[in-house]
Every structure is written in structure tokens, then in C-alpha cells.
Amino acid sequence: MAALGPEAERTRLAAEGARSVTQAAIVSGQPLRDVIKGRVFFVLLMAALGISLLGLAALVIDAVVDGRSMLSLDLLTNSASRISPETAGYANAIYGTILLIAGVLVMTVPIGVGSAIYLEEYADKTKWWNRVIELNVQNLAAVPSIVYGILGLAFIVRGPLDLGFILFAGSMTLSLLVLPTVIIAAREAIRAVPPSIREGSFALGATRLQTVRRQILPAAIPGIATGVILAVSRAAGETAPLLLVGAATFVTFDPTVFGDNGYTALPVMIFNNAKQAQPEFHVLAAAGIVVMLAVILLMNSFAIWLRNRYEQRW
């Protein structure tokens, strides 16, 4: 600093002086009433955030406290039981959920990413039918999950597809439920790829398909993965639509994809246990919630970490 000479030093002093004068004017210029009001407002905002986080934290803690006596590996390996809740577990339910989720992945990833690519890269936004598709996807994302259950009951279990109450029908219902989430996330990821990449690829003679496959999709993968994981975790915790498409049956064996002797899923089993009258089943339900929350919150955390970590700033 000194090497710059007295002139620079004078500028620095002047700037500092001006700043302190301004600050003093702002702070002392506020009437006491405004200062107090500001403080109260700030405390209220903190309280709002605090209560929200506390409420949700209490939920997690309560499940752990209520279910702690049953939290052991037996919970994951024992089969369901109506007679002895002490030795019952979630093995069949967890197996059912894994099968359901596998089906959801197989169905939603190609269709969801395909729709997103079409809407972002191919669709002519000035055409009314493309705008209808867009609006439709946005609305579908907010249709209540139980309505998807009705759709599954009327269209997949009975009606046109007539699959019966099988696990695959549950998988299809859940897929339709989370498909809009995947489409919206994938679209956002694709939209975040700057046009210059696209134009550069076209300028080098690449076709539209080559541009999508070699430039856009690789760049959009973290965003798409985030959307897919969030969708899967939503499907894994969803109960209401499954109640309508047959997962409500009480099974004590590992379900199969197309078997018609009933299936179940982890959240449905938790719901059934919570509804029982004996308190032992409530402990079992709480322990199940701990397992479910652990898996789902881990998946969500990973998804959001992935998004924030690989969020590219072009």
C-alpha cells in the first residue's frame, strides 16, 4: 500500500471515512421504534423456521423413541405376523417395496427422460398441442396420489388392462404417479445446458440426435439423477394409491411381480400395524417408520447433494 504513495492512502482514508459516516447515519437515523420492530420481526421469522424444523425433527425422534425396543436386524429379516408382534418383522414388506421400486425405475426412467427430451429439444413451443402436453404434465404432478389409486383400480387392476391385484399393477400405478416428477426434473436439467453447447454441436455437423446423445444428456445427467432419486423415494413412501390396487392384503411370504396371491409394501405394512389395537403393533409400526425414514431421507439427501455438487455454472 505504502508503495503506491500518499495519494492512494488519501483515497483509502476518504472511502473509509465516507463509509463510517454513512453507517452512523443509517444506524442512528433509525427511530427506536423501528429498531425494536425490526428485532421483533427477526425473532418471529427465526421462530417460524425453528418451529417448522423442530416439528419435523420431533417426528423423526418420536419414531426412534417409540420403536427403539424393536430396532434390530431381526426387524429386517423376520416375516410379518398377526399373532406375535414381538417377533414380527418387515422382510416381506421390504422385499415387496424393492420389487415395486425396480418396476418404477424400469418404467419411468426411459419414458420420463424421453418425454423431457421431446419437450425441450424437439417440441415446437408455438404449437398448441405441445403447450397442452406441458400444462398437462404440470397438473399431473399435483393430482392427489389417491386419484392415481383410483386410476390404477379402474384401468390397470380392472377395466382395459385387467391385470388383477398383482404387484406389477402396483408398480404401474406408482410409475404413473411419479412420472411427472421425473419429466419436470429432467426438463429442468436439460434446460440448464446452455444453447451454445447445442449450437456448437450443430455447427460441427452433428445431427439433432447426436447432439442430444453426446452433448446434452451427459451434461444433464446429475440433474436427471436427482429427479429420478427423488421420484423413487416418493414412490417408496407412498401408501394411499397402493391401498386401492391390492397391497392392503396381509401377506407373510415374499411377494412376486406377477403372483396373484397378494403383495404388500413397507409403508402399507406400517399403516396396517399402526391401525391395530394392541400397543405392541404400534412399537412395530414406529420401528418400521425408522427403517423407512432412514432409507428415504438418505436417498433424498444424496439426491440434493448430487444436485448441489454437480450443479454446473456455465
Partner 1 sequence: MEARDAIGASQAAGAGSGPPRPLQAPSGRYGEKVVEGLLALCAVLSIVTTTAIVFSLLEPSIDFFRQVSLGDFLFGTHWAPTFTPPEFGVLPIVLATMLTSFWGLTVAIPLGIGAAIYLSEYASPRVRKIVKPTLEVLAGVPTVAIGFFALFFMRPLLEDILPFLDWTGPQAAGVAGLAVGLMIVPIIASLSEDAMSAVPMGLREAGYGLGATKMRVATRIVFPAALSGIVASIVLATSRAVGETMIVLLAAGASPNLTLGFTESVQTMTAFIGQTATGDIATGTITYYTIFAVGLLLFLMTLILNLISIRLVRRFHEAYE
Subset of residues 251 to 290 that bind partner 1, contact rule: CB under 8 A = 267, 270-271, 274-275, 282, 285-286, 289
Binding positions for partner 1, 114-173, rule CB under 8 A: 114-115, 117-119, 122-123, 132-133, 135-140, 142-151, 153-155, 158-159, 165
Count of residues in contact with partner 1, rule CB under 8 A? 94
- Residue type (1 letter), 135: L
- 234 touches partner 1 by CB under 8 A: yes
Categorise residue 263: left if φ over 0, alpha if ψ from -120 to 50, beta otherwise. Answer: beta
Residue-wise over 125-159: b if at least 16 C-beta within 10 A, else e?
eeeeeeeebbeebeebeeeebeebbebbbebbbee
Pick one of 13, 21, 59, 204: the residue that binds partner 1 (CB under 8 A).
Answer: 59
- 206 touches partner 1 by CB under 8 A: no
In the bound state with partner 1, the residue whose beta carbon lies nearer, of 9 and 177, is 177
Four-point Cα dihedral 11, 12, 13, 16, nearest 10: 120
With contacts defined by CB under 8 A, name the span among 76-84, 85-93, 179-187, 252-260 that binds partner 1.
Answer: 179-187
Residue-wise over 74-88: b if at least 16 C-beta within 10 A, else e?
ebeebbbeeeebeeb
In the bound state with partner 1, the residue whose beta carbon lies nearer, of 8 and 58, is 58
Binding positions for partner 1, 85-114, rule CB under 8 A: 110-112, 114
In the block, cell 419435523 appears at: 56
- 192 touches partner 1 by CB under 8 A: no
With contacts defined by CB under 8 A, name the span among 75-83, 94-102, 194-202, 239-247 that binds partner 1.
Answer: 239-247
Helix (H, G, I), strand (E, B) or coil at 263: coil
- 194 touches partner 1 by CB under 8 A: no
Closest CA to 79 of 257, 252, 307: 252
- 29 touches partner 1 by CB under 8 A: yes
